[in-house]
Each structure stands twice: as C-alpha cells, then as structure tokens.
Amino acid sequence: MFPLSDFPSVKPGVSYLDSASTSLTPNVVIEVMDEYYKDYRASTHRGMYESATRATNAFEEVRKKVASFVDANESEVIFTSGSTASAQLLISTLEHNLDLQEGDEILVTLLDHHATLVPLQQLAQRKKMILKVVPVDEKFQIQESVFESFLTEKTKIVSLIHASNVVGTILPVKKLVEIARHTNAFVIVDAAQTVGHIPISFKDLDADALFFSGHKMCGPTGVGAFLLKEKWIQSFVPPYGGGGTVSSVSKEKTIFLENAKKFEAGTPPIAEVIGLGAAIDYLQKNNVEKIRDHTKEIINYAREVLRKLPYVSVYAGDDNVGVLSFAIPSVHPHDVAHILGENGVAVRAGFQCAELIARKVSENGVVRVSVYGYTTKEDIDVLTDALQKVATTFSL
C-alpha cells in the first residue's frame, strides 16, 4: 500500500505493529518541517517581515487542508498539541460555558480513552454530576437501544469514541449522535483512531466537537486539531487567555477574537502544523478509502491466523479500524511483548490508556496489534512465528 521507501524509520528485521500508539512518518512530512526550520523560521501571526508572513501563510493553509480533509468549515478548526490537549481544552471550555448543575449527567462508553474519560470523571466530581458508562455487547459494539436507555433529560455531555484503540470497533457514531440529539446534550467525538484511517465527515456526523492527533495519521507528534461547531466558536468564551486569542485588552476587560484562534493561546506548534498538512497531502495521494481497504484486509488476516493458535485469546470488533488485542491467559502481556520485541515485532502491552475495556477482556491487560498502510501480511507472519517462541518459552 504505502511504499516502505517513503518511511525512513522502517528498519530491516522489524515488523512495526504499533501504529495505534503512533504511526510512522514519511519523508515528505520530515522534509517540510525541516524546510520551515531552515528557510523561514519565524513565529506566526506576529511579524510583518518575509519569513513571518511565509510561516503564517503556510500555517493557515493547513487549516484549510484540515477542514477539507474532515469535511468541516475552516472557521471550525482549532490547532492543539494533540488529542489529549484537545480534550482538556474542550472540557475546560464546557465547564466554563455550560450550565452544569449537581445531579446533571455525563455519558461515556466502556470504550472511551483516558484522554476524555479522566477529565470528564474529574469534571463530574467537581460539579457533583453523575458519570454513566454505556456498556458494550459481546462484539464490543454499542447497541443503539442500550445507548438510548442511558439518556435522560439530565444528560448534559455525551462522549463517544469513533473507534476503540483496544479492540478496533468502529462505532455507529452518526446514529448515536442522532439519538443523543433527543436531549440537549453536548456531543464529543474522539476520532484519534479514525482520522486518516477511514473517511470522516464532521458535517455528516453532526457532533458538536471532534478531535484527532497528527502522529496517528503519518504526521508529527505534538500536533492535533479539534473541530468545534461554528455556533460554539461564536458563543463560547475560552478558558485560557494569552497571545493570539484577543482583539483588545484594557484594564477593565478583555475582548476575545470571534474565530477559532481565540482557543489557540500562545505560540502554536508551527512546524508540526506544517507537517500535519504534508501528512494530509500524503494520505490524500494514497486515497483514504484504499488505506481503509488495506488495513481491513491485514487486520482480518491477523485475526484469522491468531485464532488458530490454541493458547491465544483474540479480542476484536467486526467493523474494525485496524486494531486487535490478544491475551495468553497464563502469560503476562508484558512478558509476551518483551519476547516479541526481542524477535523483531513491535507491539504494545498493558491497558492501552483505556482501562475499562482492557480490563473487561483481560484482567492483566492485553497485547495490542495495530496496522496501517505500510503493514503487510508478512509482518503478521513474523508475529505468529514469534508467538511460537513465546509458546516454547512458557511451555504452552
């Protein structure tokens, strides 16, 4: 799918199966970031000289690219340092702007990542709200009727993960958002595992906010975006102030900008945003639909071969973004991952920053396999060969 020659960090003898943690980065992304540092290193939106103007133009061009890539309005794109920062900024914004009362409810799912679950849990504790967790069925999916049964007139915030980073399940987010609209709840979508992996339309999903990270979609670390509906951009007051967020400041008051930049306090991650733009170009060149088809084929192959190993328990949703987890009941996941690593297989072990679902399937955590456009069936074969060495080591 992706030419391996595009990725300088690909090493002979290593099968990289940890893309849900962070994807590999193609040369084109590294090159445009280097170009910024070498040729026009300057801050954005602050200078009138040539390199500052060039940096600002390059930065703002990416805002347009993000909007086009996820089918949003350019005015709805807010740059952050990643999904966790987006979630923190968003939840702080909601706390400052929504009328949240004791006894009001926050709805999350068993699949939610700690990036949203933890700050929402803290918000519930501060405001004496009730945090409710929607369960999954035996296929790790959210049933619409079950989801609807958790909604009440007191539901103020709903958090949905677009795809699980543990079992790969893609939720029917559009339908769940439609159901949530029966209340006046603010709906958040964590799309960290899906943007750049499957086609996304912010307009079609109709959530109030959606966020993602650059480093999970061939971009650099330290950058992400969160999309906030125009009506909220206009009406919300940002929880943080600083350079770049205001139109004027006096002794008496601050007047914030009326666009997305009012949420971008301080000097932004300029090189990283420019790198994100190059990653979007790269993914569009390779066609996200084709990337989706490729990862589906590879993860289905992985599921098939791993289920043939009698000592392995596999956990994966059917409609899958390219992630599965497994456990060997008598062996700790960290021991499995260590042996795999010694044999050239890069995976992640533990609770995957999503402890609710990870503990549900395996008390000690799981070993996770995650694939992307550069993953091949040969990588999966290397994994299964290495698992035979785990079996030998522990006399399975």
Q: What is the pLDDT of residue 67?
A: 98
Mean pLDDT over residues 40-65, rounded? Answer: 95
**pLDDT of 47 above 90:** no
Backbone angles phi, psi at 248, to 5 degrees: -160, 150
- Considering only CA atoms, which of 118, 101, 110 is closest in space to residue 154? 101
Q: What is the pLDDT of residues 200-241, one digit of tens each?
A: 999 999 999 999 999 999 999 999 999 999 999 999 999 988
Q: In this structure, are residues 306 and 381 in contact, taking their beta carbons and an 8 Å threshold?
A: no
Residue 353: active-site member: yes
Amino acid at 162: H
Listed in sequence order, the residues at least 6 apart from 183 whose beta carbon sits closer than 8 Å to its beta carbon are 151, 152, 153, 155
Mean pLDDT over residues 46-53, rounded? Answer: 92
Backbone angles phi, psi at 144, to 5 degrees: -60, -40
**pLDDT of 243 above 90:** no
Strands 77-80 and 366-370: unpaired
Strands 130-134 and 254-256: unpaired
- Considering only CA atoms, which of 58, 284, 86, 74 is closest in space to residue 191? 86
Q: In this structure, are residues 19 and 194 in contact, taking their beta carbons and an 8 Å threshold?
A: no
> Token match 């399975």: residue?
396
**pLDDT of 244 above 90:** no
Percent of the chain past pLDDT 90, that is, above it, reads 94
> Token match 């650099």: residue?
220
Distance between CA atoms of 294 and 232, rounded to whole angstroms?
Answer: 37
Q: What is the pLDDT of residue 40?
A: 96
Mean pLDDT of the chain: 96
Determine how many CB atoms are found less than 10 A away from the CB of residue 29. 26
**3-state SS of the chain?**
CCCHHHCCCCCCCCEECECCCCCCCCHHHHHHHHHHHHHCCCCCCCCCCHHHHHHHHHHHHHHHHHHHHCCCCHHHEEEECCHHHHHHHHHHHHHHHCCCCCCCEEEEECCCCHHHHHHHHHHHHHHCCEEEEECCCCCCCCCHHHHHHHCCCCEEEEEEECECCCCCEECCHHHHHHHHCCCCCEEEEECCCCECCECCCHHHHCCCEEEEEHHHCCCCCCCEEEEECHHHHHHCCCCCCCCCCEEEECCCCEEECCCHHHHCCCCCCHHHHHHHHHHHHHHHHHCHHHHHHHHHHHHHHHHHHHCCCCCCEEECCCCECCEEEEEECCECHHHHHHHHHHCCEECEEECCCCHHHHHHHCCCCEEEEECCCCCCHHHHHHHHHHHHHHHHHCCC
Distance between CA atoms of 233 and 209, rounded to whole angstroms?
Answer: 10
Please tell me the pTM assigned to this model. 0.96
Q: Of the residues 52, 118, 257, 353, which is catalytic?
A: 353
Mean pLDDT over residues 268-278, rounded? Answer: 97
CA 363 → CA 27, 229, 327, distances in Å? Answer: 40, 39, 10
- Considering only CA atoms, which of 332, 331, 302 is closest in space to residue 314? 302
Mean pLDDT over residues 242-252, rounded? Answer: 89
Q: What is the pLDDT of residue 285?
A: 97
Q: What is the pLDDT of residue 395?
A: 83
- Considering only CA atoms, which of 32, 355, 11 is closest in space to residue 218? 32
Q: What is the pLDDT of residue 355?
A: 96
Distance between CA atoms of 396 and 393, rounded to whole angstroms?
Answer: 8
Q: What is the pLDDT of residues 62-116, one digit of tens each?
A: 999 999 999 999 999 999 999 999 999 999 999 999 999 999 999 999 999 999 9
| Angle (nearest 5°) at CA 384 between 378 and 385 | 90
Query: Which letter, b or e, does each residue of 236-261 get, where b requires 16 or more Cβ atoms within 10 Å of its Cβ?
Result: bebbeeeebbbeeeeeeeeebbebbb
| Bridge partners for 316 per DSSP | none
Q: What is the pLDDT of residues 310-366, one digit of tens each?
A: 999 999 999 999 999 999 999 999 999 999 999 999 999 999 999 999 999 999 999
Q: What is the pLDDT of residue 187?
A: 98
Q: Tell me the pLDDT band of 46, cut-offs 50, 70 and 90.
A: confident
